[in-house]
Amino acid sequence: MARAALFDVDGTLTDTNHLHVVSWWEAFRQAGHSVPMRAVHRAIGKPSDELIEELLGEDRDTGEDEELSAAHSVLYGQYFDRLGALPGAGDLLRALAAQDWRVVLVTSAGGSELSALRRAIGADEAIHATASADDVSEGKPAPEQVEHALDLAGGVPPERAVFVGDSVWDMKAAVRAGVRAVALLSGGIPRADLIEAGAGAVYEDPADLLAHLGGSPFADGSDRTGERS
pLDDT of residue 75: 98
Question: What DSSP assignment string belongs to 74-142?
Answer: HHHHTTGGG--BPTTHHHHHHHHHHTTEEEEEEES--HHHHHHHHHHHT-GGGEEEEEEGGGSSS-TTS
* Residue range(s) in the chain whose domain bears CATH number 1.10.150: 17-78
Beta bridge partners of 10: 14
Q: Please confirm whether the linkage preceding 190 is cis (ω < 30° from 0).
A: no
pLDDT of residue 226: 42
Res. 134: pLDDT tops 50: yes
Q: For the ranges 1-5, 52-56, 137-141, which has the lowest average pLDDT?
A: 137-141
* Residue range(s) in the chain whose domain bears CATH number 3.40.50.1000: 3-15+84-215
3-state secondary structure 149-162: HHHHCCCCCHHHEE
pLDDT of residue 220: 60
What is the C-alpha end-to-end distance of the chain, expressed in Å?
A: 32
- The Cα–Cα gap between 12 and 181 comes to 13
Span 78-82, average pLDDT: 96
State the pTM of this model.
0.92
Residues 131, 8 contacting (CB under 8 angstroms): no
Question: What DSSP assignment string belongs to 6-31?
Answer: EE--BTTTBS-HHHHHHHHHHHHHHT
pLDDT of residue 178: 98
Res. 39: pLDDT tops 80: yes
Mean per-residue pLDDT over the chain, rounded: 94
Residues 183, 170 contacting (CB under 8 angstroms): yes
* CATH T-level fold of 17-78: DNA polymerase; domain 1 (1.10.150)
Selected residue with higher pLDDT from 225 and 217: 217
Q: What architecture (CATH level 2) is domain 3-15+84-215?
A: 3-Layer(aba) Sandwich (3.40)
Res. 214: pLDDT tops 90: yes
Q: How confident is the model at residue 66 (pLDDT cuts 50, 70, 90)?
A: very high
In single-letter form, the type of residue at position 36 comes to: P
Res. 5: pLDDT tops 60: yes
Res. 91: pLDDT tops 50: yes
Which pLDDT tens digit goes with each residue over 180-213?
999 999 999 999 999 999 999 999 999 999 999 9
Cβ burial of 1 (10 Å; 0-12, 13-18, 19+) is exposed
Nearest alpha-carbon partner for 5 in 56, 122, 13, 229: 13
Res. 145: pLDDT tops 50: yes
In the chain, count H helices and then E strands.
10, 6
Task: Count Cα neighbours of 203 within 13 Å in the Cβ-side half-sphere.
Answer: 26
Tally of residues, the chain: 229
pLDDT of residue 135: 86
% of the chain beyond a pLDDT of 70: 96
- The Cα–Cα gap between 178 and 166 comes to 18
